[in-house]
Structure 1
Amino acid sequence: MRVKCVICDKIEKIDNQSPLAKKLRNRPIHTYMCKECYERIENRTKERIDTGNFRLYKKDEANESW
């Protein structure tokens, strides 16, 4: 299966029977990122967390009851 990275537009080939290929086929909302882009985002996020200026806003389930 040919996939395209959503960030750098690099085209790669993945195995048709891999769980990632099945997820991309069955749920079009899921997107593919190449390994380099994924690692770059991961490293930069860790750097921001280490500075102390990074806030992760999590959804508060207790206050969201309708």
Structure 2
Amino acid sequence: MMVQCVICDILEELDNTAPEAKRLRNRPIHTYMCAACHERVTARTNERIATGKFRFYRSSRRIEGDFYS
């Protein structure tokens, strides 16, 4: 299955039997992000969390506690 990253528009091949490929086929609203972009977004998010000004508005306190631990 050919997929395209939503951030950098790079095309990649996913195995048709992979769970991520099945998720993308069955739920078209889900998007694909390549590994490089995923790592970059994760690093930037962790930097913002470290500043203390980053807040999750759509989650419960229990989930935030689990995330920060």
State whether TM-score is above 0.5: yes
What TM-score, normalized to structure 2? 0.82
In structure 2, how many angstroms separate the alpha carbons of the residues matched to 1:56 and 1:24?
A: 26
1:59, CA displacement in angstroms?
Answer: 4.7
What TM-score, normalized to structure 1? 0.85
Q: Which amino acid in 2 is paired with 1:16?
A: N
Q: Secondary structure at the match of 1:25?
A: helix
Q: Which amino acid in 1 is paired with 2:15?
A: D
Which consecutive aligned stretches of 4+ in structure 1 deviate over 2 angstroms post-superposition? Answer: none
Counting helix residues as a fraction of each chain, which structure ranks higher? Answer: 2
Partner of 2:49: 49
Partner of 2:15: 15
Identity rate, percent? 62
Q: Secondary structure at the match of 1:50?
A: helix
Partner of 2:40: 40
1:58, CA displacement in angstroms?
Answer: 2.6
Name the larger-Rg structure: 1
Q: Which amino acid in 1 is paired with 2:38?
A: Y
In structure 2, how many angstroms separate the alpha carbons of the residues matched to 1:13 and 1:54?
A: 34
